[in-house]
Amino acid sequence: MAMTSCFFTVPTPNTSSSISESNLQRPHLAFSPRLSSFSSSFTAKSISFHRRVTISPVFSKGGSDNNNNNNNNGGDGGDGGDGNNGDGDGGEDRDRNRSEAMMLLAESGTELESLPKDLVAAIESGRIPGSVITRFLELQRSAVMRWLMQFGGFRERLLADDLFLAKLAMECGVGVFTKTAAEYERRRENFFNELEVVCADVVMAIIADFMLVYLPAPTVSLKPPLALTAGGISKFFHNCPDNAFQIAISGTSYSLLQRFGAIARNGAKLFAVGTTSSLVGTAVTNAFIKAKGAVDKTSEGEVETVPIVSTSVAYGVYMAVSANLRYQVVAGVIEQRFLEPMLHQHKLALSAMCFAVRTGNTFLGSLLWVDYARLIGIQKSH
C-alpha cells in the first residue's frame, strides 16, 4: 500500500508574503459606543460577519438616500409599501438596524417593554438604526425632553433633530420682531396709520409660526402601517415623508412621487392653519378698529374693517404655497443637508447659523405677504 504525504503550508506574518490583505479576510468584531461603526451583526442563534458600515448621527448621507430612491422611482411610491419594495438591500438594512438597536438597549440596561409602543414596533421591524436609539437615550436624561417625548409628534421630530425645540423657540421668539420690522419696511410713514392691519399680520404670524416649524420638520417616522383595508390615497400619503427634502434613514427610502406628496400634504395642512389663524387675526383687527372708533369719534371711518373671508382664504393660499416651500427648503435642505453635516460637532455655531437663516426667512416671508396682499387687493397701498 502506497504512503500518501500531506503538507500544510501556514503563511507567516512576513511583509514579502504573496498573500495580500485583500485576499486574506479576517473576520472581527468592532463596536463603537456611539454606533460609529459596526463590523458584525448578531442574531438570536448565530453570529454573522459583514463589511464595515459607517453610520451617520441619525440620517444616512445623501448617497444612500439617492440609491434607495432610485430603487423606488419605478412607480411604487403610491402603493402604500414601506419604501423598500422588498429589495435585498432593504432587508439587510433592517436586520442590521434591529441588531444595533437591541445591542444598545442591552448595553444601557433599558428594557424593550419600557419604551413607547410605536418605538418598540419600529425597533422590532428594523425601521430605525441604532443611532436613533442613542439619541433617544440621550434625550431621556433631560426632564423637559422626557416629558415632550411622551407626545408622538414631538418624539418623531426630536429623534430626527435634537435642536428642534430650539428652532421652535427661535421662530416664535423672533416672529413678532421680524414681521413688525418687515411691515415697517414696506409701509414706512404709513406704518402707524395702518397699525390695525399691522396688528392683524403679526397676530396671524404668531399663530402660524409654531405650525410652520412643526409641520415641515424632518422626522423619524414611527407611524404604524395602515390597515390593509385602507384606500390607496390614504396609504400613499401615510408613507410620504414629513419634509419633502429630508434624508431617509437607513432601512427607509422615499420615491420622488412621495416627496411631491409631502409638499401637497403639508400644503393642505398649512392652508387650514393659515385660514384659521387669519380668521382670528382679522377678527382681532376689526375689534381694534371698532374700539378705536368708539373711543375717538374723529377716527371713525378713517380705517376700513378688514374683509374676513377674502383675507383668510388669501392667507391660507400664501401659507400653502410660499411658506410651505420656504420652510421645507430651510429645514430639509439648508439645515439638514448643509449646516448639520458641517457643524454637527459645534452645536453653538449650528444654533447660531439656524437662527440667522430662520430670521432671514421670516423677514422675507413678511415682505412677500405684504406684496401678495396688495397684489390681490386685500390690502391697499397709500
For residue 166, the number of C-alpha atoms closer than 13 Å in the C-beta half-sphere is 12
Amino acid 56: pLDDT: 41
Q: Are 96 and 38 in contact (CB under 8 A)?
A: yes
> Which residue stretches of the chain are H helix?
62-72, 88-108, 117-124, 130-139, 143-148, 152-160, 164-187, 195-214, 232-238, 256-295, 308-318, 324-329, 340-343, 347-375
- Cross-strand bridge partners of residue 48: 41
Q: What CA–CA distance (Å, rounded) separates 264 from 244?
A: 10
Task: Look up cell 411610491; give the residue.
Answer: 77
Q: pLDDT digit of tens for each residue in the chain (382 aa)? A: 444 444 444 444 444 444 343 443 434 434 344 433 333 333 333 333 333 333 344 444 444 444 444 433 333 333 344 444 333 456 788 889 999 999 999 999 999 889 999 999 999 988 889 999 999 999 999 999 999 999 999 999 999 998 999 999 888 888 778 778 877 887 777 787 777 777 777 777 777 788 999 999 999 989 888 888 888 899 999 999 999 999 998 878 899 999 999 999 999 999 999 898 888 777 877 777 777 777 766 655 555 667 788 888 998 999 999 999 999 999 999 999 999 999 988 999 999 999 999 988 988 888 898 889 888 887 766 5
3-class SS of residue 348? helix
Task: Look up cell 427634502; give the residue.
Answer: 245
Q: pTM here?
A: 0.69
CA distances from 84 to 53, 74, 261, 283, 333 (A): 19, 12, 17, 48, 23
3-class SS of residue 118? helix
Q: What CA–CA distance (Å, rounded) separates 265 from 259?
A: 10
* Sequence-separated (6 or more) residues with CB below 8 Å from residue 286: 305, 306, 308
Q: For 149, phi and psi rounded to 5 degrees?
A: -70, -10
Amino acid 206: pLDDT: 75
Neighbour count for residue 348 (Cβ, 10 Å): 8
DSSP character at residue 249: P
Q: Are 242 and 219 in contact (CB under 8 A)?
A: yes
- 3-class DSSP string for 173-228: HHHHHHHHHHHHHHHHHHCCCCHHHHHHHHHHHHHHHHHHHHCCCCCCCCCCCCCC
3-class SS of residue 377? coil
Neighbour count for residue 180 (Cβ, 10 Å): 17
Q: For 37, phi and psi rounded to 5 degrees?
A: -160, 155
Cα 144 → chain centroid = 20
Amino acid 304: pLDDT: 64
Q: What CA–CA distance (Å, rounded) separates 278 from 313?
A: 8
Task: Look up cell 402603493; give the residue.
Answer: 79
Cα 312 → chain centroid = 27
Q: What CA–CA distance (Å, rounded) separates 120 from 198?
A: 48
Cα 329 → chain centroid = 11
DSSP string, 305-345: PPPHHHHHHHHHHHIIIIIHHHHHHIIIIIIIIIIHHHHTT
Amino acid 28: pLDDT: 41
